[in-house]
């Protein structure tokens, strides 16, 4: 079920994060949490130019932990991200160096994670102004990748109602994009 602001519920996002970790797709996780990491660093450093460097060091630290085999058990990855941000900021304020080198075997495909995150944010923004039911159906179809029957089961709708919501949502989106 999606939250009122159209983002996945934390447990759904946590399950996705766990799956990505198990698949070794750390580059996607880092892209997914990029805005959170940078946002916290910029806020804590009050816009100081070092904020971007500290944020980069947070991502490098998370990357190094993954490549060293560090796993977090039942702790949700989002919690780990916030802990590492806190630790890295504390080290920065204590004057300890936080710079890390990229691992030698680090070679993510260009933009793989960030492109997916950007497209998801773009779709969420497009869907935001749709009526609730259409928005839910379109999010489940395009952001979660569910088939029509699965959407109907999850939302307690008939398959026909899902088809209608998709059709009407597509029509509203077409109209909005034409007039944008």
- In the three-class reduction of DSSP (H, G, I as helix; E, B as strand; rest coil), residue 41 is classed as helix
Separation CA 87–CA 66 (nearest Å): 17
Same domain (yes/no): 74, 139: no
CA distances (Å), origin 68, targets 7, 8, 61, 154, 169? 31, 30, 11, 39, 46
pLDDT of residue 97: 64
Separation CA 149–CA 105 (nearest Å): 42
Q: Does 23 fall in a domain?
A: yes
Separation CA 172–CA 134 (nearest Å): 10
165: containing domain: 129-178
CATH of the domain at 83: 1.10.1740
> Which of 39, 74, 93 marks a domain boundary?
93
pLDDT of residue 106: 54
Same domain (yes/no): 21, 83: yes
Same domain (yes/no): 84, 143: no
Average pLDDT of each block of 10 consecutive residues along the chain (180 residues)? Answer: 48 81 82 87 85 88 82 80 89 74 55 58 79 90 86 93 93 80
pLDDT of residue 180: 61
pLDDT of residue 5: 46
Separation CA 31–CA 49 (nearest Å): 21
- Number of domains forming the structure of the chain: 2
- In the three-class reduction of DSSP (H, G, I as helix; E, B as strand; rest coil), residue 69 is classed as coil
Q: How far apart are the first and last CA of the chain?
A: 30
Q: Does 119 fall in a domain?
A: no
> What residues have CB less than 8 Å from 45, skipping those under 6 apart?
51, 54, 89, 92
């Amino acid at each position: 079920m999606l939250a009122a602001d159209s983002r996945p519920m934390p447990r759904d996002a946590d399950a996705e994060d766990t799956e990505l970790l198990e698949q070794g797709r750390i580059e996607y996780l880092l892209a997914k949490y990029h805005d959170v990491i940078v946002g916290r660093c910029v806020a804590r450093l009050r816009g100081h130019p070092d904020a971007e460097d500290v944020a980069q060091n947070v991502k490098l630290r998370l990357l190094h932990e993954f490549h060293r085999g560090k796993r977090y058990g039942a702790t949700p990855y989002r919690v780990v991200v916030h802990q590492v941000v806190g630790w890295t900021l504390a080290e920065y304020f204590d004057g300890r160096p936080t710079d890390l080198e990229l691992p030698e075997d680090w070679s993510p495909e260009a933009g793989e994670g960030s492109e997916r995150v950007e497209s998801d944010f773009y779709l969420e923004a497009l869907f935001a102004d749709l009526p609730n039911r259409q928005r839910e159906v379109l999010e489940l179809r395009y952001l979660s990748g569910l088939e029509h029957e699965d959407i109907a089961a999850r939302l307690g709708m008939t398959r026909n109602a899902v088809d209608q919501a998709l059709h009407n949502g597509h029509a509203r989106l077409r109209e909005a994009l034409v007039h944008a």
